[in-house]
Amino acid sequence: MPDIEELIRLAVRARDRAYAPYSNHPVGAALVTDAGEVFTGCNVENAAYPLGNCAEQSAIAAMVLGGGRTIRELVVVGPTDAPCTPCGGCRQRIREFAGPDALVHACNERGVLLTMTLDDLLPESFGPENLNPRKS
């Protein structure tokens, strides 16, 4: 299992490859699955703004392509020293593949700025189990 410093390094490397010519806000993400596999992603913007991909979304897509289905931990690194937390859409995407205790770290190149659980990030969330409720 990679340590937080390695995840930050990987997220910074992903951020440095981001395509963000419109917002000038490059973001990188690195996630760890329950099997200990690591996947990274960066944001990719598009002139038709809604068609871009966030870093978290890109890392999740790489995880799914690699056969992973459960996020244990996620690191997000933005371009400034302020914490770069996942947007609302990414919070829901993370929720699809992570339990309430999954850790989400907003970091800069030097370390962790903010750590929260997914439940802290997206309380009272709607997830897959809401579409397939267990029968009593």
Tens of pLDDT, residues 52-111:
999 999 999 999 999 999 999 999 999 999 999 999 999 999 999 999 999 999 999 999
Q: Are 27 and 17 in contact (CB under 8 A)?
A: no
75 marked as binding residue: no
The answer to whether residue 84 sits within a structural domain is: yes
pLDDT digits (tens, 9 = 90+) for 16-31: 999 999 999 999 999 9
Q: Give the residue numbers marked as catalytic.
A: 56
> Is residue 67 domain-resident?
yes
Q: Is 48 marked as binding a ligand?
A: yes
For residues 18 and 4, give the distance between their C-alpha atoms in angstroms, rounded to a whole number: 21
Q: Are strands 28-33 and 71-77 parallel, antiparallel or unpaired?
A: antiparallel
Provide the pLDDT for residue 78.
97
Residues ≥6 apart with Cβ < 8 Å to 50: none
Using the predicted structure, report yes or no on whether residue 132 has a pLDDT greater than 90.
no
- 14 among the known binding-site residues? no
Contact 102, 117 (CB under 8 A): yes
Token code pair at residue 85: 């937390």
State yes or no: 24 annotated in a binding site.
no
* N-term to C-term CA, the chain: 38
**Residue 114 three-state SS:** strand
Residue 17 is assigned to a structural domain of this protein: yes
Q: Is 136 inside any structural domain?
A: no
CATH of the domain at 9: 3.40.140.10
* Number of structural domains in the chain: 1
In a domain, 102, yes or no: yes
Range of the domain at 104: 4-131
pLDDT tens profile 2-13? 999 999 999 999
Instruction: Quickly tell me which residue has 């690194």 as its tokens.
Output: 77
